[in-house]
Structure 1
Amino acid sequence: MKDTLSRKVAVQLKPGNLFAHIVLLGIGLVLLYPLVFMILAGFYTKTEFTSSIIGLIPIAKAPTLDNFTVLFSGTADSSIQRYFVNSGYRTMYNTFWALLTSLLAGYVFARLRFKWKDQLFLILLGTQMIPGTIALIPTYLEFARWPFAGGNDIFTGGKGILDTWWVYFIGGPSLNIMGAFLVKQSIEKIPYELDEAAKVDGAGTLRIIFQILLPLQMPIMAFIAITTALATWNDFATPFFYTSSDKLQTLPAAITRLSSAAASPGAIPNWPLIITLGLGMTIPALLIFFFFQKYIVQGLANTGIKG
């Protein structure tokens, strides 16, 4: 046992391996530096932060936990708890619909036969080439002109569903094109005889999808859930462009609201609190990625790409 351990240590200490470890350690420290800076900056007061020269490693002379208290309890700003709750509910809602639409669409394009199936799927994939910012104005007009909502009739007027929960309920659930592509690629690797055997036993389409094919797609579904949750949690554009009420805002909007104090003449933003809120946004995403990163690799590896 000792000889085996000694040989492993000797291999790791070879000049080539040692240099690689040093390089990777340096890269890791560079990548972790923003997180360390955010944590240390959270101990500053607003006055000390704005009156001090912040070095590479910020160390507060009079450290305080007030910013972290606001982050976790919302004592100084009760809206912050609401932002956290809104972000959490919206993330779960969008993730559920992404999983459902990816599974159903992937099954349709992998198993069903209908005219123009391949062409339609290529068109759907082509929509992924369009930058999301291009759709902001058309989506805004769609929400603003939503028929019979917000004072609208079927032709003009009103504000539609802007600044309502319907922005999240309607705008959130959409077909996850990349998720559907991954599920389609994976299902196509499963022999169709499995479906036929289930049909002989009396299974219907939904039972085949949810009881037979779904368990085989769990790594891919985990990948879709993780990526969708991260994207929704960090989404800034939707609450910023389509809502204005405080009760509808999410955590990214809270950071924007506090940062907007810089636009007022003579006003100084509370940068330590803003940085701490940014840390609050980052930690859940880091935890999700840290604990479920294997599913990201496994999900992509299990799809395969058919030539």
Structure 2
Amino acid sequence: MRSSNARARSFKPLHLFGHVVLLTVGIVLMYPLVFMFLAGFFTKQEFASTVLGIFPIPEEPTLRNFISLFQTTGDADALMYFRNSLFRTAYMTVASVLTSFLGGYVFARLRFKGREQLFLLLLATQMIPTTIAIIPTYLEFARFPFMGGNNVFTGGTGILDTWWVYLIGGPAINIMGTFLVKQSLDKVPIELDEAAKMDGAGTTRLLFQILFPLQLPIIAFIAITSGLGTWNDFIVPFFYTNSDTLQTLPSAITRLSSVGNSPGAVVNYPLIITLSLGVTLPALLIFFFLQKYIVQGLANTGIKG
């Protein structure tokens, strides 16, 4: 009884105001998902001719757009886009984890001339906006040696519009991941490496059986952030590929929205919105269930935000 009275006395109107604010913000953030879900029941003709309210309700609801997420239709091959997105995300996630861990080990453990200067140079590249690199990257892919009729100097198609865009052009060094691994490895005593080598451990065993398990929080953070970034990326597929078979979900959505540029064409906005929902929900679920690993990974590096 006394405990209940103590809780009652500790309650303040400010607490109620805080809960109301949080509830309001939550509703505002959830509204786009509700709108996207309701808009998915429209046909493109009804959507184009209807004055939409806050909560759009179709007169003749259809499941065609949601069915398009799970099977091939005449409007879009969502399953193929989903497979491409999944493949690219998995590939880039593994590549980012490996390059980050190995790069972090090099800068944290190996001693060579110009190490600090090279590390600072890599960090400086983070200040370059991604959009600035679009044209140089395009030219690099187009001039890629001995591919696509390219004789190195006079041009050609190079690896443009091929899977090599994802396989070769994809796994660049994850600079932020490398920085985080280096920061974390700097806290691991060098004596651990020396003890492992005295016990007969080679470099591979030292890396993947001793040091790698110690970096699991950081590795989880790198994998989650890299995976989410790749899943939501449309720049690489949109600018460097043309074939429909190479498109991922984000780039396919962008290309579908350009149909309206044709005379008399009606953009299938309900399908586009439904595909956008298919892109958004996996990312939200991953972040919702794995956000503790993001916090834990940053905490282990000593970075405060």
TM-score, normalised via structure 2 length: 0.95
Contact 1:70 1:76 in 2 (8 A): no
**1:107 alignment counterpart:** 105
- Structure 1 unaligned blocks of 5 or more: none
The answer to whether residue 155 in structure 2 is matched with residue 154 in structure 1 is no
1:255 is aligned with what amino acid? I
Aligned counterpart, 1:137: 135
1:2-60 deviation per Cα after TM superposition (whole angstroms, max 9, x unaligned): 7656755764x421111111111111111111111101111112222111110111122
Distance 2:156 2:14 in 1: 68
Distance (Å, rounded) in 1 between the aligned partners of 2:4 and 2:193: 50
Classify the secondary structure of the residue corresponding to 1:119.
helix
The one-letter code sitting in structure 1 at the alignment partner of 2:117 is: Q
| Paired positions, count | 304
1:191 pairs with 2:183: no
- In the other structure, the counterpart of 2:178 is 180
1:1-307 matches, within 5 Å, as 4=3, 7-8=6-7, 11=10, 13-77=11-75, 79-305=77-303
CA distance in 1, matches of 2:258, 2:294: 36
Identity, % of aligned positions: 68
User: What is the identity, as a one-letter code, of the residue corresponding to 1:55?
Assistant: G
CA-based RMSD: 1.7
CA distance in 2 between counterparts of 1:9 and 1:39 reads 41
- Name the CA distance, whole Å, in 2 between partners of 1:6 and 1:106: 55
Structure 1 residues 170, 294: CA separation in 2 closer, same or farther (over 3 Å shift)? Answer: same
- Aligned residue for 2:70, secondary structure, equals helix
* Unpaired segments ≥5 residues, structure 2: none
Rounded Cα–Cα distance in structure 2 between residues aligned with 1:197 and 1:282: 47
Q: Give the letter aligned to residue 234 of structure 1.
A: N
Deviation at 1:73, TM superposition (A): 2.2
Residue 138 and residue 6 in structure 1: after superposition, are their counterparts in 2 closer, same or farther (change >3 A)? farther
Partner SS for 1:72: coil
Contact map agreement 2:141 2:165 (CA 8 A) in 1: yes
What is the rounded CA distance, in whole Å, between the counterparts of 1:9 and 1:75 in structure 2?
Answer: 59
Moved more, 120-129 or 46-55: 46-55
Say if 1:271 and 1:189 are closer, same or farther in 2 by CA, change over 3 A: same
Q: CA deviation at 1:74?
A: 2.8
Mapped to 2, the partners of 1:93 and 1:6 lie a distance apart of 57
1:68 Cα offset (Å): 0.4
Which stretch of the first structure deviates more once superposed, 154-163 or 180-189? 154-163
Moved over 3 A (4+): 2-11, 75-78
Change (3 A) 1:305 1:83: closer
Mapped to 1, the partners of 2:36 and 2:17 lie a distance apart of 30
Distance 1:116 1:203 in 2: 28
Q: Which region of structure 1 is more displaced relative to structure 2, 200-209 or 270-279? A: 200-209
Over 3 Å counting, the alpha-carbon distance change for 1:51 and 1:39 in structure 2 is same
Q: Secondary structure at the match of 1:73?
A: coil
Q: Partners in 2 of 1:7 and 1:116 — Cα distance?
A: 63
Return closer, same or farther for 1:76/1:14 CA change in 2, 3 Å cut-off. Answer: farther
